[in-house]
Chains A and B, each alone.
Chain A
Amino acid sequence: MGTGAVLRTAALLGAAAIGALILGGAAAVARAQGATFTTLERGRYLVDAGDCAACHTAEGGKSMAGGRPIPTPFGTIYSTNITPDKETGIGNWTDEEFYKAMHDGIGPGGKRYYPAFPYPWYTKLSAEDVRAIKAYLDAIPAVRQKDEPPDLPWPLTIRKVMAIWNALYFRAATYQPNPAKSAAWNRGAYLVDGLGHCGACHTPKNILGAPKWDEHLAGGFGEHWYAMSLTSDPRDGLGAWSEQEIVEYLKTGSIAKAAAAGPMAEVVQNSTQHLSDADLKAIATYLKDLPGGGRVAGAAPTKIDSAAMAHGKSLYLDQCTGCHLEEGTGIAEVFPPLKGSAAVQAKDPATVLEAMIDGATVVATAAKPTGLAMPAFGWKLNDSELADLATYIRNAWGNQASAVTRGQVSKARKESQQSAAK
């Protein structure tokens, strides 16, 4: 190439990108058998809102081709290929079959799904939305990748067993608007309790892994992180958050009082940052109308051992004040405060312990690309130090939460190691 080549290359790059768009668009429309661009766009948006990629795209894997291990208390399940490949994906499914999977948790041929696939939430979706999702999934590139069988103990390997589970805990029902509430509230409820399946993590589960519907969004587990209560409890729920703060958190990944890390970082990354402001406002409207967490608030503070507090405080001054400052206030928008933090005062200290042991990285979003990170302390603090430090931050500066035991730290450490090994 002679002079002018750099310029030419730049121009070529641009031309190639435009070409790819046109070709990609044409192929997609062909595969979707005439689905309109609006339907496809709607489907794409709904797939983002449903955070399908969180499970159906494996780390480093092809988009929506499945194969991501989903740890459950019963064993590991692998997400499935939902690309339009005819043999290994859902390319041969009819719209009706797809709807039945989403609405009833039953695939073609009567194959019953495990509720790690959040059909107990997706059942609320309108038929129109499910059709749009299917149209979009039909339009993405097909990937030939066989599903992996779940790694579960008998009798859970027998999928028919799930019929009993469904009979006990599942009711198929499309979302019915509450006429007493606003349109925004209803849209929020549809997104939170349907497509967004927030309760899959934020609602506690019983011993059989079923959501405790009467403790709706009162805090549960997402992998081994504790997903905080979304109730209006001012201490460990969203009581102290304004609607605008909820919107900003979901859009950008952080606000002055909190930052998304762990599984919630993925939710913001793949899903909520892409939602429209109107939908985020609707979510906030609905969440702020949830009852105060009175009946399900974090365990009433037990008497906190003063020796543990003193030990925790000395560790805090040495290890934590560089970012979170002496009064636990953090630095607005940069280092989250511990004082008044719902995540810190959560009923279960798992999230705080996970962050302390392994460190945590705030989600990098289009609006806030930095990905600020907290380093790991698990290598330098032992179980009893971490326990006292966690107890201290959960009870200093007006915070109130149960004391943390060495046993809890040791359990969190094991879970974090297991998760790292995967």
Chain B
Amino acid sequence: MATRLKPVDVVLVGFGWTASILAQELTEAGLEVLAIERGKYRDTDPDFATTHIQDELKYAVRHALFEEPARETLTFRNSADQTALPMRHLGSFNPGAGVGGAGVHWNGQNWRFLPTDFKQRSHIEQRYGRKFIPEGMTIQDWGISYEDLEPHYDKWEYLCGIAGQAGNIQGKIQDGGNPFEAPRARGYPLPPLKRSAATVKFDQAAREAGFKPFPCAAANTSKPYKNPYGVQMGECTYCGYCEWFACGNYSKSSPQTTILPVLLKKSNFSYRTLCDVTRVNLDSSGTRATGVTYVDFQGREFEQPAELVILCAFAQHNVHLLLLSKIGQPYDPKTNRGVIGRNYAYQITSSVAVFTDEIMNPFMGAGALGQAIDEFNGDNFDHGPEGFIGGGYIALWTTGGRPILQQRDLPEGTPKWGAGWKKAMQENYLRSASIATHGSVMSYRDSYLDLDPTYRDIYGNPLLRLTFDFHDNEHRMSKFLTDKAALIAKTMKPKSIKVKYREGHYSIVPYETTHNTGGAVMGADPKTSAVNRYLQSWDVPNLFVMGSAVFPQNAGYNPTGTVGALTYWAADAIRNMYLKRPGPLVQV
């Protein structure tokens, strides 16, 4: 029997980036806010201290900062004719657990999406015709525009102290920035990071090949920074331990380094850790959330009443909770009806290794230290002759040269072990780099999330089931991108290169990216979206859903910048519209 607790105004499920932003915004509005987090409390000192954080075995290999599949996981299959099996070890993606969420262990690669990304279906239909969209591809518009989000991207970037070079300020193209980016109101708060030897070489080669390279925007501080909340950050030391690690130097943007110092001092905010939310509770009408039920680390069950429930967990966990709570109609791929679980998407990556005579010092890195080109992202080029939809950026990142998992690629023909391998490693560790492609994945009728009929979690609830595979459209797009990357690689005049296309079925085993999207998508039509343009549930108006679960399909950029902007956008709608008149913010 659950113990009923004292009601709060707002309960946030999870305490990562989106919950931290909402908590700060909604406590400012005078509300009493509670965040419930499945992992532990953690802070820069002592948990991320420079005295121990650069431990690749503990963090990157043994996953000290990630969710534990023994407590929470999903089942996976490539297609509906297979039987899904539980993911017993993390592989293809690494959701975080603990205060700060994945915002603690991300690289800090920060992007805005293109205006056309938000109008994915209508733009493609308009430019290439309805028939250009293949059978079974279920792409759709977001229900908002880039212009809607611009002020919120801005707020996010100034929260984080993003280091970068603007490419387009109010329509004026800026030298050295990304000329393809949409207009921004002002430049980045910090100048770009220092460049690595490899990014300098990439930059020269890309220019020679006729492209317009630019420094990637980074949530790694290039200078000390004080954000609008007064929270201070240090300056990145290029230690090369960003992704899968936390930052000990206060120089990677995370909830801990940007919001928590002010949020945690507020008397109208509180949080509980090591608590798993198992249900969103509804009243008898099924159209109003009354709060959540959660289980603490000792197995005690509690009911937390709240006026407003906001799902701030990792993308697929938000979808899982909606399905378990029977909110919204579950998606059925046979009929293509229903919305919860619909339009799951991922991203598709590939790489080209470059072997040179010059020393690159790969160990001097930062998570978002990179140089990129954006000629082949979104609809920045004519897709007519290519016959596929989507694109991605091509970048050379110098994220680090860590000894275990960041061993260099070695040239073709290198033995896989023994003296020959050692010799090749010795020759190439300092003299190689890798160019990455980061491609979009469209949504499809046969890529979705639902409840597994067989496997259950530690509370007896059905696990979430992921059904996903790469489609021909993405393979062709990725090959196109990879060939362009190889062209730049060759222009770097290397000794040799090694092209690694992404081929065959999607596998959940090797790491690829943690950019899972969809399952509770936003849109203008309640028949094809779970939440409206303000991220408010169509079915339960006092429930909002944050994070990349609301992306109707995945763009060719890292998602965190857009997740941050959408959170500020939703917070603004709650503060300025919902609180004044609680109820549906969009009528259909």
Contacts and interface: CB of A to CB of B under 8 A. Distances in A.
A361 B45 contact: yes
B582 A6 contact: yes
A14 B29 CA distance: 11
Interface residues of A, number: 34
Nearest to A320: B50
Contacts of B583: 3
Given A3-B583, A13-B32, A334-B224, A376 B9 contact: no
A332 B50 contact: no
Contact of A369 (B30, B46, B234, B265): B265
A333 B30 contact: no
Contacts of B237: 321-322
A333 B583 CA distance: 46
Interface of B, secondary structure class, is loop
A380 to B, nearest CB: 6
Nearest to A377: B51
Contacts of A6: 9-10, 31, 307-308, 542, 578-579, 582
Contact of B45 (A331, A335, A375): A375
A322 B235 CA distance: 10
A1 interface: yes
Contacts, number: 95
Interface residues of B, number: 39
Contacts of B308: 6
B239 interface: yes
B50 A323 contact: yes
Nearest to B231: A370
Contacts of B234: 323, 331, 334-335, 372
B50 A375 contact: yes
Contact of A372 (B30, B230, B250): B250
Interface in B206-248: 224, 226, 229-235, 237, 239, 248
A242 B87 CA distance: 62
A364 B265 CA distance: 10
Contact of A9 (B32, B51, B248, B261): B32
A374 interface: yes
B235 A7 contact: no
B235 A334 contact: yes
A371 B248 CA distance: 14
A319 interface: yes
A7 B580 contact: yes
B473 interface: no
A322 B262 CA distance: 25
Nearest to A17: B30
Interface in A354-412: 359, 361, 364, 367-377, 380
Interface string A1-12: 101111101100
Given A331-B235, A334-B233, A367-B230, 4 more contacts: A10-B31, A319-B51, A332-B224, A370-B231
**Which 7 A-B pairs give the minimum distances between C-beta atoms?**
A375-B49, A373-B45, A6-B307, A370-B232, A10-B30, A3-B582, A334-B234
17 contacts: A4-B582, A5-B582, A6-B9, A6-B31, A6-B308, A6-B578, A322-B50, A323-B50, A331-B224, A333-B232, A369-B229, A369-B230, A369-B261, A370-B232, A371-B261, A376-B46, A376-B51
